[in-house]
Structure 1
Amino acid sequence: MSERLVDAYDLVIFDLDGVIYLIDRPIAGAVEAVGELHRAGVPLAYATNNASRRSPEVADLLTGLGVPADAGEVLTSAGASAAVLAQRLPPGSKVLVVGAEALRAEVRDAGLEPVSAAEEKPAAVVQGYGPQVGWADLAEAAVAIRGGARWVATNTDRTLPSPRGPLPGNGSLVAALRTALGQEPDLIVGKPEPELFAAAARRVGAVRPLVVGDRLDTDIEGAVRAGMDSLLVLTGVHGPADLLAAEPERRPTYVAADLGGLFETADAARVPPAEVEGWRLEDGGGPRLTGDGTAIDALRLLVGLAWSGGDATKVTPDTSAARDALHALGLAA
């Protein structure tokens, strides 16, 4: 029996939004996939850039969705940012918090004092996603940073996935401050910085972790920076066209339609592929896709063309199956 992709790894690190759930709804097949990993005894971790929930809250949410988890398996950018600030500031230092109550609580538990006004002379500003963040919060942060406060962003995801499509993420709010201040944050803690992944591996002593995510610019780039293999699933933010255009630092080891790809053979999900069953690319007046097979296998073949310098956006279908595959991938002309 061929070895499953997941069997070559001693830890699976999942992103959450767009991989396990969308806001508070489980993604199809996610509960079953995680259940299978639990039955097989595979160590799991969850690393999220979303700073609006604390680790116990995330674990409770996952458990409520049918994905049993404990707080020790969850790493958040909020907790990591508070820990970094505690390392760099004297105990009791004031920190202006722009974000959700979860971020304030993490700052408080790290031995620092969360504040809301620039007049309180904070030593740092920490900015994370919060659905209630508004102009007044950004204004206080701008004044504090101009006054000398260190600016720390939990993450810079431009969007976050939702059942209604991508919505503005913390990166969009960071961009507003960046425009107003004419400067970059002093520190960005979350993905694509590698620390969340490295911390997850340290917790269980893993030497060959696999990162699973839906974003090339955070999950996959973060895995590349951490020296870890990665699986891109097409259930969240980034899709086939994004994968074709991915720069080398944002290229995953594997791609799959969903978490079911964990249980395929590694060769069935690897990009670019050594070979693809059923599909061929032929040249003659431009590249043509011919044959029959799954849409995800057609995508893997196109990735090989794109990453070797070819123009995969110019591929035309040579069979009705090829036409259907390109349409399913959103790549039809």
Structure 2
Amino acid sequence: MAEQYEQEGRLEECFELYRRAAHLVATTLPADRAAALIGRMMAAGAVVAAEQVFHEIVETCGPHPSSTAYTASALMDAGSPELAYYFLDAVLAKYQSSEGELESLAAYLNAGRRSELAVYAFTAAARNKPVSTVLRYSAVLRKRGHSRSAVDLLVSVVAGRPDDVGTMVGALRKGGREREVEAVLVGLATGASDEACAALLDCLAKDGTDADVSVLIGLFSNRPFASMAAIASTVDSPEAATMLVPALLAAPREQQAAYFTAEQAQLSSSQRGRLASLLVASAPDECPEALLSWYAAWADPTGVVWLVEQLERARIPLDQVLAAAAGRRDFASLQEALHRLGSHQLSYRLAGLRSEFGL
């Protein structure tokens, strides 16, 4: 009846019938026809029906390598590569195939000239496995001539489990796979989000070695200034944050200026304060004027006093910083707070500048 409805163009009724008979579809239709059906459903917007049939196919395939390989290949042939990868994810997550079954699945996929799916099967299976198992899977891929995929597998796992980065790096070294360490760090540094990079840096600072932390930070130096700033203001480790300062200050001045003259909506007040104080405390003579003026224009009174003291100690001209503080909209509150802090001279100096500006 569903097939008849489809021939008549009554797709809504057709796909609803397939949804209701999803188990029958999964157990009776050949994999290529079931895959093609799912593709037609997705193209027509019948997502709920497609998902029902898809999940029934996952249940039907179970942990059996041959049927899993055949169905994944059929989904690729049906023009649904994303579903093919998702299918492998679903099957391997649900049934947690043994290493022998995983090897068989890869063999079936390779026999069907689907090496990309064979490689992905190892990656999908590794996500929730212990580090020792992950390393074995990557070693299998390397022996089969998939060196790049072996590294990608390690990167994929660590990106999802940053707490394991120190353990992973240590295990690679212990296993005589030193060459892969930097390749993994490169993959993490170039592909992970700013938040993920901060988490990785914290975990590596806690469980790794200073040399590995230095390598990762050196790789971060290739990222835009705004990205490094987000990492520095998010990472928990003060030592790691301080190690980022040279890379931050080595970034192109135009990037730094653009960052500090634009609205920094992505950073909280505490993050902005941490970033500015980190740079000023570490290298006040190298900080761009845009940063100093930016900080003086919004920092709390204690921060303004601290900034002026730091710059005076480093014998850095204060003209632009004082001008930024004097031009603040909350100047009355700032002035009152400065007096409470005992910074009377600074308060009078800012008031004089404000008068000169005609504010």
Q: TM-score, normalised by structure 2?
A: 0.30
Q: Which has the higher helix share?
A: 2
Q: TM-score, normalised by structure 1?
A: 0.31
Bigger Cα Rg: 2
> Bigger relative contact order, structure 1 or 2, given CA contacts below 8 A and separation 6+?
1
Q: Which has the higher strand share?
A: 1
